[in-house]
Amino acid sequence: MITRIQPGARMSEAVIHGNTVYLAGQVGEPGDDVTAQTKTTLAEIDALLAQAGTDKSKILMATIWLADIADFDAMNAVWDAWVDKANPPARATSEGKLASPEYLVEIIVVAAV
């Protein structure tokens, strides 16, 4: 069975298949700095995981895209305060051109349900 959370014409914000939930890339508010965008993004991830019946302690993998790798330390300061220290996921971080120049960070996660 496949369950789609907040489906749209182009994509769903999350898809549950079996015991795994896949989140679409989440972003913060355009115009905010990377710290604020990261906080907003992680709050949205928390909300989507809750809708899927899980939480950040069950994140298996996180992929983080930064518009500018110089923001790595600022993003990590927020991430480190948020991540479940007892259950840190596998993670990759890279610099890349995001969908809009106003987005500074995008985070994609896969979690167990």
pLDDT of residue 60: 98
Q: How far is residue 54's CA from residue 48's CA, in Å, rounded to a whole number?
A: 9
Centre a 10 Å sphere on the Cβ of residue 106 and count the other Cβ atoms it contains: 20
Express each pLDDT in 47-97 by its tens digit. Answer: 999 999 999 999 999 999 999 999 999 999 999 999 999 999 999 999 999
Look over the chain and give the mean of its residue pLDDT values, rounded to a whole number.
Answer: 97
Residue recorded with tokens 């923001």? 71
Task: Output the pLDDT for position 71.
Answer: 98
CA distances from 34 to 40, 46, 69, 76, 109 (A): 10, 18, 11, 10, 18
8 Å CB contact between 58 and 97? no
Neighbours of 101 (CB within 10 A): 9
Give the CA count within 13 Å in the CB-facing half-sphere of 14: 24
Question: In the prediction, which pLDDT does 100 show?
Answer: 92
Residue whose entry in the numeric block shows the structure tokens 């220290």: 85
User: Percent of the chain scored above 90 by pLDDT?
Assistant: 100
